[in-house]
C-alpha cells in the first residue's frame, strides 16, 4: 500500500448508513445499471447450493444476499467495519472477514473458492494493482474449475469515458475506472482468460479464469 491512501476505510464507514438508499438511484451515475450488474455477476457465476463463494468488498451485502439465496457457502470481506456490520444483518449465515483487498492475504481465507465475485470495488485500484490482485486470485485462491467475476464501473475506452463524464457534469468523480480496451490486454498479458460485457453506459462485468 502507498503512503498516501486515496481510498481508506474511513471514507466508507460513514457511507454504510445511506449506501442502500444511494444504490436505488439507478438511473444516475455511479449506480446506473446497478441491479443489472449484480444480476449478470450472479448469472455468470452459475451458483449452485453448497458452492463456496468469496465476495470481495461486500459492502452492505447486496450481492452476497443473492448467493446466499441460492444456498452458497458464503465468505464476505470488506475493510470497513461499518459496511460489514450492515452485511451481517442481511446474511447472518455468511463468514465475515475484515480485510483490505490490497494487503497480504488473510489466513482466515487460506483456501480455494469455487467462485470469487466482487461488485463496485476494483475501481479503487490502479490498473497495475487490479491486474496483480486478479492474477493472485485466479492462480492462488480460485478452484482450477472456478471463475472470478467482477462487476464494476467500466467503460469501453477513454473516449467513451470522457464523453460520459461530460454528460453527467458535477456527478462525475475521478477514480480508477476500468477501461476495457486497456484492462483486457493487461489481464491477458498476465496469463488470464477474459470475457467482458458492457452492461450500462458506465458499468460492465469481467469474467476471468
Ligand X SMILES: C[S@@+](CC[C@H](N)C(=O)[O-])C[C@H]1O[C@@H](n2cnc3c(N)ncnc32)[C@H](O)[C@@H]1O
Cα→Cα distances 55→61, 119, 146, 168, Å: 9, 8, 14, 30
Question: Using CB under 6 A as the criterion, what x/- string covers residues 132-151 for binding ligand X?
Answer: --------------------
Of 35, 33, 41, which is closest to residue 208 (Cα–Cα)?
Answer: 41
Minimum CB distance to ligand X, residue 48 (Å): 21
Residue 143's region, left for phi above 0, alpha for psi from -120 to 50, else beta, is beta
Other C-beta atoms closer than 10 Å to the C-beta of 60 total: 25
Q: What are phi and psi of 208, to 5 degrees?
A: -125, 145
Q: Rounded to an integer, what is the distance from CA 79 to the centroid of its chain?
A: 13
* Closer of 105 and 193 to ligand X (Cβ): 105
- Does 100 bind ligand X (CB under 6 A)? Our answer is yes
- Does 154 bind ligand X (CB under 6 A)? Our answer is no
Residue with nearest beta carbon to ligand X: 59
- Does 33 bind ligand X (CB under 6 A)? Our answer is no
Considering only the stretches 44-52, 99-107, 132-140, 175-183, report the one whose residues sit in contact with ligand X under the rule CB under 6 A: 99-107
- Does 59 bind ligand X (CB under 6 A)? Our answer is yes
- Does 206 bind ligand X (CB under 6 A)? Our answer is no
Cell output for 44: 455468470
Beta bridge pairs of residue 74:
53
Torsion sign, CA atoms 135, 37, 6, 65: negative
* Closer of 62 and 154 to ligand X (Cβ): 62
Binding-site member from 12, 113, 178, 206 for ligand X (CB under 6 A): 12
* Closer of 92 and 185 to ligand X (Cβ): 92
55 DSSP 8-state letter: E
Considering only the stretches 88-96, 98-106, 127-135, 178-186, report the one whose residues sit in contact with ligand X under the rule CB under 6 A: 98-106
Amino acid at each position: 500500500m502507498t503512503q498516501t491512501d486515496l481510498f481508506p476505510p474511513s471514507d466508507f464507514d460513514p457511507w454504510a448508513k445511506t449506501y442502500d438508499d444511494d444504490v436505488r438511484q439507478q438511473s444516475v451515475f455511479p449506480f446506473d445499471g446497478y441491479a443489472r450488474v449484480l444480476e449478470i455477476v450472479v448469472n455468470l457465476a452459475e451458483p449452485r447450493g453448497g458452492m463456496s463463494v468469496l465476495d470481495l468488498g461486500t459492502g452492505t451485502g447486496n450481492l452476497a444476499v443473492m448467493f446466499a439465496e441460492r444456498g452458497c457457502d458464503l465468505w464476505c470481506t470488506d475493510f470497513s467495519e461499518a459496511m460489514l456490520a450492515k452485511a451481517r444483518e442481511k446474511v447472518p449465515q455468511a463468514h465475515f472477514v475484515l480485510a483490505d483487498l490490497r494487503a497480504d492475504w488473510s489466513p482466515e481465507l487460506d483456501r480455494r473458492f469455487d467462485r470469487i465475485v466482487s461488485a463496485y470495488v476494483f475501481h479503487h485500484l490502479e490498473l497495475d494493482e487490479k491486474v496483480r490482485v486478479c492474477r493472485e486470485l485466479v492462480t492462488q485462491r480460485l478452484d482450477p474449475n472456478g471463475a472470478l467475476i467482477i462487476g464494476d464501473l467500466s467503460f469501453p475506452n477513454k473516449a467513451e469515458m470522457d464523453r460520459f463524464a461530460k454528460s453527467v457534469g458535477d456527478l462525475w468523480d475521478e477514480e480508477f475506472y476500468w477501461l476495457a480496451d486497456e484492462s483486457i490486454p493487461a489481464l491477458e498479458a498476465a496469463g488470464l482468460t477474459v470475457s467482458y460485457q458492457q452492461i450500462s453506459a458506465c458499468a460492465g462485468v469481467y469474467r476471468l479464469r
